Structure 1
Amino acid sequence: MRLDKYLKISRIIKRRTVAKEACEGGRVSINGKTAKPGTEVAVGDEIEIRFGDKVLRAEVTRLAEHVKKDEAKEMFQIIENN
């Protein structure tokens, strides 16, 4: 699954265009490497997103094309949020 789509479906980022812009701006990395919006995401990958001086690190635990709002939190596990 594409990174920008995953971020939107998992509701880590609310809009796909915002997720795409974050990736293009170099603020998102997967397993320590800067990622583009089309980078493929797999279960077990570690995603790091930088929002200004804050950093969110999460591990991908599940992939799904469609999920309900309350099930979206099962798609990732937060490692660090500061």
Structure 2
Amino acid sequence: MRWALVDFGHPFYRPLTRRIIIFALVLAWTVVEFFSGSTGWLLFFLVLSAYVGWGFFLSGQPDQAAEDQRGTPPPPGSGKDG
């Protein structure tokens, strides 16, 4: 069993816009902690921002196709040639 803080392969994180928004919120809170002068929380959110950014964008996990894990083909007209 592999330990992970967040399951980056979960279908909830499939849309790119959702990943960008989550990353931006964590990064924005890191900036808030920087300007508030809270060193402990700043380091926590800085590490969390790096972890989320790596998991969403740099981990090498390809974005899953429109097919879900059951193998259902994408709906017609979705732009994916099957």
Q: Under a length normalisation based on structure 1, what TM-score does the superposition of the two structures give?
A: 0.30
Hey, which of these two has a bigger chunk of helix by percent? 2
From the two aligned structures, give the one with the greater strand fraction: 1
Higher Cα Rg, which structure: 2
TM-score (ref. length: structure 2)? 0.30
